[in-house]
Each structure stands twice: as structure tokens, then as C-alpha cells.
Structure 1
Amino acid sequence: MSEVGKSRQIELNFPDEELDRLQRKLDDARLPDTEITGGLKPWEYGTKLSKLQSVLNDWKSGNPKDNHGKPVGTPGQGVKKWWKAIESELNRFPHYMVRIEGIDIHYQHFKSSVPDSEASTPAIPFIFSHGWPGCFTEAHHFAARLVESKSPRFEVIVPSLPGYGLSQAPGKKDWSLIDTARIFDTLMTSVLGFKSYMAQGGDWGSLVTRFLANHPACKIAHINYAPPQPPKWSTPLMTLEHWGYKGVAPAGLKLMGYHPQGVLGVQRTFEYLNQGSGYAQIQSTQPSTIGYSLYDNPVGILSWIMEKFDAWSDPRCAAVNRSNSDIDPRSHVTDETVLTVVMIYYLTNTIHTSFLNYKESFHFFVKPDWKLWDQAKDKPFGYTSFPYELAAGPRTWLKNYRLNWQYYKMHDFGGHFAALDNPDALVEDMQEFASQHWPGL
């Protein structure tokens, strides 16, 4: 039996002096006048300078852009007034802290808005696990909508991963996502008293979810991130692509009749490996070097994180699109939500500890040991495919995960941060999956 403390309710209410200090740092920040070299394609060498300058200016004045590409708040109101409005929104659903295995864990609790008197079945306990560079705020729009579901109903728990935001870092070597899943299971069962629950996640959260499924109380699980595990027959195609024969693998898969979204997933996988994975190499080898460099560096955190949201989100979202005419308001990947994530990392001083999963758990993606999931292999699993996932493959390749796939859905909009990028679609999928596979429904 693991050490478990008593939950206490908290509110997000960062000190005024910290917000005033942040304002001074942003006002005093300097950026280059021109791009690192001339003739660049947008984002070709990393963060686009003009975008960084624009978001920084909006951040300083306190009116970043929403999912319609429109500034929020009053121009010139400043960081503090804007952030207090964000805190108020995030506090609509209660926050808690609890000590488990000597680590203070933060979680947010979204209860069903449908009264018990109007329901025929109890609400399904549901845990959402975020990833990097996300944080608990990644789930806000998704969870708020999921608890409005009438049939089935849901009760949603959104914890912060250890070392992220308000959750304490483990403070010890070799703490992996297996350990994180164990304390999240303790949270759901010993702290909150649920006899059974449903789990969902993407990015690191997909691994946490798969490890949660090893625990008896987790009855069904859903993920929206499954890097391709290609079959052996595809090895020549994948090898040629890896050796620099650009486009060979996607072209070959297309000729074989694979769905275009699966082909796009493979194409994006190689784009990620060849052009977008340098951060992972740094964070998985020398996390303290980059971590200490970004610590107390709000503009540095913004530049480091913003590039990931641009590369991994649907290009039609407000934070990424190239012209305001084609903004799709279904997505909540906006300048404001990206800055909200940056603010959480900065105000909680956790950007450096958020890198620890790369050092301790990256091998679960690179060289998976399938025996680690033996206890989960018979439980119903679901998967949702979004077109702009950073790494994906054809549906048939999922069988190589050796999980009990019982649900699959494909959407034509969305990316890696599914709970932000297309929350309505993810809500619908949770309703469908639970209706079909939750015990007793």
C-alpha cells in the first residue's frame, strides 16, 4: 500500500509580485531585428522570428489572439489583468493537491453537470493524462465539454504529471512513466475511491494510459498517439526513406492503396525524425543543460514551446495558419492557449523538470518492450486518428502494438494536441467508445 495523504483544495492565484516581475522581464526582452539568415521558408530554421515578435508584443500588452484570430481583452491591459482572467476561467473547476509516495500531485476535478436525478447510470470516472509541451490546461476545453455529456455521463480527473506545473518533481533518478501511472492509479482508487475508471491520453499521456491499463481498476483505455510500428515487409521502403530517398515510403504506401491519412502520417513521421526531433535528443540526453537555460526565461520558454505547437497542430488553427481567412474555430490551439501553457511552466518553475520524462522514459517509444503491457493486452483499447499527428501510420499497423483494439475513428481535422485541436471530436469519440465498451452500459 503506497503512502497516501489527504487531498486539499487549492486555487490558482499566483502572486501579484511575480506577475509584475514577469511584466518587467517581458518589457525588457530583446529579440533580433532580422531572421538568422535571409531567404528562409517559414519555420525552416526553427521558430519564426516575426511570429515570436508578434506573440511577445501581444503577451506584454495582455491581449493574445483567440481561436478566431482576434485579440482578447483590452489592448494595453498588461500581463496581470489578462492572466487573472485566465486564472478565473481555470478555477471554474476545482483544483486539489495530494501527497502520494512522497510527491505532491496536483489534479483538477470536473464533475458531471448532469444531476444524478436525471441520469439512469452513474458517471464514468475518467482520467486524462497530458504530455509535453502541454500541461493540465491542455484538457480544459475537452474536459469541460465531456462532463456535459448526458449519455453516458463522465466525471473527469486531470492530474499534472510529476515535474509539470503544480505537481512536484520526483527528485530521484529512474522515475519513469510506469511510476507515474502507478501514482495516478492510486489517485483514482485510494484517494478518490473509484472502483473502476476509464483512461485517455496523447503524447506522454498515451504511455501513461497504456501503463494505467495494466492496473485492474482501469477497465478501458483510449489513446490518440501511436507512433508507427511498421510491418517487416515495409522495411525496404522505410530504410530507403531513412537514407535520404525522400518520398519513397509515402509514395510506395500510396501505390499499395493505403488511406491518404495513413500515408500522411508516415510522411509526417519522417519529417519529424529528420527535421523536428532535435529537441528530443537534447532533452533525453542533457535535460539540465537546456532546462537551466530556459529556467526563469519566459521568452525562451515561449520560443522553445511555440515551435512545437506550430509543427504538431493542424495548420488551419489560429496559432499556426498563414492567413486569417482560413482559421478553423474548432481548434483551441491559439496564441492565448499556447501562452497559457508557457505561463504555467514559467510561474511554477518547472520547465526544466518537465524534460525528465525524455531522459527516463523515451526508450518506451524508441525500443518498446511489449511485455510491459501484457496485463493490458485483453482490455478494450480505442484509437483516434487526427491528420496532423506528428508521427502516425496506417490503421493496420496498429496491430503491432499487441493491444486489444476495439475502437478506431478517423477525423479530417486536428493534430497532436487533440484535446485542444479538436475537443468536440474527441468528446464524441469518448462517448461512442464508452457506450460500446464500458462495463454495465
Structure 2
Amino acid sequence: MSDIAAVTPFEVQVPQSAIDDLRLRLSLTRWPDREIVEDWSQGVPLNAAKSLVDYWLNTYDWRRFEARLNSFPQFRTVIDGVGIYFIHVRSPHANAMPILLTHGWPGSVAEFLNVIERLSDPTKFGGNAEDAFHVVLPAIPGYGFSDKPTELGWNPARIARAWSVLMTDRLEYTHWVAQGGDWGSAITTALAGQAPKGLLAAHVNLPMVVPAELPENPNEEERKALEDIERYVSNMSGYANQMNTRPQTIGYALHDSPVALAMWMYEKFWEWTDNQGLPEDALSRDQMLDDISLYWFTGTGTSSARLYWEGVGSTIRSSDFFSSARSGVGRIQVPMGATIFPAETFQPPRAWAEAAWANLFYWNEVDKGGHFAAFEQPEIFAIEMWEAFRPFRSKR
């Protein structure tokens, strides 16, 4: 194996000077005036913003999260000229199945930390040894401790090809499965469309299946899905429209101001989780700030935004994120499955998935959770992985 193809161990070590700089910036925040509504309809309310920042400044402990990351085996390797960071946890159980988990935005590997052990050692959580996985958890290029691409073209299809190299060449797995949500869903869907050697099946928790021709007389399920799309495009896609078209412009705020970065992400934890009105109903402040701090200390607010420009904006220049589902890889032959979480932003009917996927092997609707499935509901997510991929263990 050449040096460029080597897999090398990695450890997270954020300099104390970077932590001190963050605290100084937080302490010097110039706050805007208060919103003129009594809810979140104009964005993150000032009181909620101040409360989160106060916690970040005076209570939150990055070193705790850093130590947790370092408790897992972490690595880096160069693929297609870009350094890729990944966590790789091998199961103690014989015949474990390799699983590739891909995060999205504003997520990171932090989304999956509470499911790693559930998947790799299910007997500790009421599962069976036969359901164990070897867990591979990479950071998308431009996110976390992966390199930031310096050339055009790092869209979901190219990332998917890099993931194939990671699984088959770098880690030498001969048979494996893949899962993703948000951008991870787009990447996993692209991966299934490419059908690389060894990929047995794929699963997503955001099925990006939109018919090329929308139904003129939709049934009840279709009408709800169309309403999801309309609500997203008309009232929820401002962040995406900015990143689809001008990621560099918003990037100055995201890179220079920790408060700007935090609110850009905190709003999505409110809007996309299964909560009763507050993000903290679904995720703890520590969980959210682990994720936000990971973006801050790696300086990836701008580079992560460019994935929207590459993945959606560079082809359609539209705020309709779901249009990317229609411009993909054709009817997918690799077995595909999905779990629908009740607070997900888009919940298509099963029939749309059957039309897009030639072999729909699993479809389930669960009763709790939202867009950040593994982050919000690690127990449910792990059980879904055990159940969904069980039929493919005998095919290896």
C-alpha cells in the first residue's frame, strides 16, 4: 500500500488557545435587538440564543467530548486527493456485518456516537450477537476532521465513489451495507445507484423519492408528501437557498462568529427534531454544542455549506432541495430500505419508493424521532438497523 493510500491513526487534540479564543469571542458577542413575535417564526428568539451561548461559555466542556471521540478508534486516509477522517469500530462478535453510516448537515459524526456500541455489541443492549456490525463512520469532505476540497466536483456521487474506495480498498471489506440521512441519504442513494462491488443493501431515513411527474390527483398519502415539499420550499428552505447559491457569503459569518454558526444550526435542531417547542426537548444542550463546536474548531462552516452548491445549487440553482431526488441515478437495483421517523421534514408514500427502487426490502414507520434519527433516538435507530439488514447476513 502506498503512503497516499495508507490508513493512519488519528487523535483529536484541539489547542487550548482555540478554546480560549472561542470563549473570548462568545464573551464579546454583539447582540441584535429582540424579535417582534412571541415564537420562533422569525428565527431563534433572543432569549433562547443568549441562554445557549451562556451555557456554551460558562458550562460546556469541549474536553469531555474530545475525550469521547478519542475513546473510539479514529483514522485518516487520502482518497481522490482528499484526506478522509473516519471512526472504525470492529465488533467483538464473529461474523459481524460492516456498516457504513453517513451523516448530513448540520450533523456530523457526533450524530452516531450513541449508536456505535449498540451496533457493534448489541448483546449489551438486549440484541443478538448475530445482529452485530463493524461500524465505519466517515466525515464528509469539508466536514469535521476530513479535508476541505480545494477543487470543484465533490458532490454526492463523487463522495459515494470515495466511500466505495474506503470500504473495499482501504478497509478491505468484501461485503457491506450502507445507511444515511440528510446528505447522508443523498450519498447513500448515489452509492446504491453506483452498485459498487460488495454493497449488499442500503437504508435511509430520508427517502429522496420524488416522481419526475407529480400526481395530478394525489391520494391522501401523496397529498401529505406534496404538502411537505410545499412547506419546505415556502417556509423552511431559506438556509438552503443561501448555501445553494452563495455559500461563500454566508461562510464569512459562519467562520468568524461562533454565535452566527450556533444559531444557523440551532434553528435546525428546533425545526427538524421531534420536540414539543424547544430543541432541548429532543437533544441536550451538550449534544447540540458537541456538534456545533465540532464545526467551529474545524472551521468547516463554509466548506460544509459548499456541499449545497455542489449537490443542488450547481445544477438547478433552486431552493427545492427535493429536486435533487429527481435528478439522480435512475431506478436503483441494489436493495433499498427506509425507516420513516414522525418528525422528518419529508415523508413520501411507500409507492414512490417502490417506483424509484427496484428492490424495496424494508419499510417501517416508527413512533418517535425526527430528522436526526440516530442522534434523537439511538435505541430505535439501532433496532431498525438490526431488523432491516438481518436478511442480508446469510448472503455474505
Q: TM-score, normalised by structure 2?
A: 0.89
Q: Is 1:28 equivalent to 2:1 in the alignment? A: no
The answer to whether the 8 A contact 2:270-2:277 is kept is no
In the other structure, the counterpart of 1:274 is: 234
Distance (whole Å) between structure 2 residues aligned to residue 189 and residue 96 of structure 1: 16
Distance 1:368 1:202, change over 3 A: closer
1:372 aligns with one of 310, 317, 329: 329
Q: Secondary structure at the match of 1:407?
A: strand
In structure 2, C-alpha distance between the alignment counterparts of 1:406 and 1:317, rounded to whole Å: 35
Q: CA offsets, 1:148-187, max 9 Å, x none?
A: 2222210000000000011112211132111111111111
Question: Who is 2:72 aligned against?
Answer: 93
Counterparts of 1:126 and 1:308, CA distance in 2: 27
Alignment of 1:359-398 (within 5 A): 359-362=309-312, 365-368=322-325, 372-373=329-330, 377-398=332-353
Corresponding residue for residue 125 of structure 2: none
Q: State the distance in 2 between where 1:132 and 1:2 align.
A: 33
2:292 is aligned to 342
2:136 pairs with 1:136: no
Question: Which amino acid in the other structure matches residue 89 of structure 2?
Answer: F
User: How does 1:154-173 map onto structure 2 within 5 Å?
Assistant: 154-173=133-152
Percent identity between the two aligned chains: 31
The letter for the 1-side match of 2:40 is W
Does the residue aligned with 2:110 lie in a helix, a strand or coil? helix
Q: Label 1:431 to 1:194 Cα distance change in 2 as closer, same or farther (>3 A).
A: same
User: Do 2:210 and 2:322's aligned partners in 1 also have CA atoms closer than 8 Å?
Assistant: no
Task: Quote the offset at 1:320 in angstroms.
Answer: 4.3
For 2:289, what is the secondary structure of its paired residue? helix
Work out whether residues 208 and 325 of structure 2, in 8 Å CA contact, stay in contact via their aligned partners in 1: no
3-state secondary structure, aligned to 2:179: strand
Q: Which residue of 2 aligns with 1:310?
A: 270
2:39 partner amino acid? P
Structure 2: how far apart are the matches of 1:166 and 1:264? Answer: 38
Quick one: which of 93, 104, 114 aligns to 2:83? 104
SS at match of 2:279: coil
Any unmatched runs of 5+ in structure 2?
A: 123-128, 316-320
1:317–1:46 Cα change, 3 Å: closer
Select which of 375, 378, 395 maps to 1:420.
375
Q: Partner of 1:151: helix, strand, or coil?
A: helix
SS at match of 1:210: helix
Q: 2: CA distance between counterparts of 1:317 and 1:403? A: 39
The answer to whether the aligner puts 1:224 opposite 2:195 as a matched pair is no
Q: Is residue 220 of structure 2 the alignment partner of residue 234 of structure 1? A: no
Q: How far does residue 19 in structure 1 lie from its aligned partner after superposition?
A: 0.5
SS of residue paired to 2:201 = strand
CA contact (8 A) 1:151 1:431 kept: no
- Measured at CA, do residues 368 and 311 of structure 1 come closer, stay the same or move farther in structure 2, by a change above 3 Å? closer
How far is 1:268 from its partner? 3.8
1:355 aligns with 2:305: yes
User: Could you give the per-residue CA deviations for residues 287-330 of structure 1, whole angstroms, max 9, x where no partner exists?
Assistant: 10001222121110001011011101101497344xxxxxxxxx
Which amino acid in the other structure matches residue 271 of structure 1? R
Amino acid at match of 2:202: A
1:61 aligned partner: 58
Q: CA deviation at 1:418?
A: 0.6
Once the two structures are TM-superposed, the CA of residue 265 in structure 1 deviates from its matched residue by 5.2
- Per-residue CA deviations over 1:370-420 (Å, capped at 9, x if unaligned) read 67245xx23221100001111222222222323421101110111011111
User: Which structure is larger by alpha-carbon Rg, 1 or 2?
Assistant: 1
Distance in 2 (CA, whole Å) between partners of 1:228 and 1:43 is 30
Letter in 1 for 2:366: H
SS in 2 for 1:295: helix
Pairing 1:109-258 to 2, within 5 Å after superposition:
109-112=88-91, 114-116=92-94, 122-149=95-122, 150-213=129-192, 214=194, 215-227=196-208, 229=210, 234-235=215-216, 253=220, 258=221
* Residue 390 to residue 368, structure 1, CA distance change in 2 (3 Å): closer
The CA distance in 1 between the partners of 2:223 and 2:330, in whole Å, is 27
Match of 1:13 in 2: 13
Relative distance call for 1:407 and 1:348 in structure 2 (3 A) is same
Q: Is the 8 A contact 1:414 1:421 kept in 2?
A: yes
Would the aligned equivalents of 1:129 and 1:202 in 2 still touch at CA under 8 Å? yes
Q: Kindly tell me: are residues 204 and 296 of structure 1, through their superposed partners in 2, closer, same or farther at Cα, counting changes over 3 Å? A: same
The amino acid of 2:154's aligned partner reads: W
Tell me, yes or no, if the aligned pair for 2:201 and 2:336 is still in contact at 8 Å: yes
Extract unaligned runs of 5+ from structure 1. 64-81, 117-121, 238-251, 322-330
Cα separation, partners in 2 of 1:225 and 1:205, compared to 1, 3 Å? same
Question: What SS does structure 2 have at the residue aligned with 1:44?
Answer: coil
Residue 43 in structure 1 maps to residue 75 in structure 2: no
Partner residue, 1:72: none
CA–CA separation in structure 1 for the residues paired with 2:277 and 2:385:
22
Moved more, 390-399 or 133-142: 390-399
| Aligned residue in 2 for 1:79 | none
- RMSD over aligned Cα atoms: 2.4
- Distance change in 2, residues 1:232/1:440 (3 Å): closer
Q: Letter of the aligned partner of 1:97 in structure 2? A: R
In terms of mean alpha carbon deviation, does 205-214 or 296-305 score higher? Answer: 205-214
Equivalent position of 2:355 in the other structure: 400
Do the aligned partners of residues 34 and 316 (structure 1) sit closer, same or farther apart at CA in structure 2, a change above 3 Å counting? closer
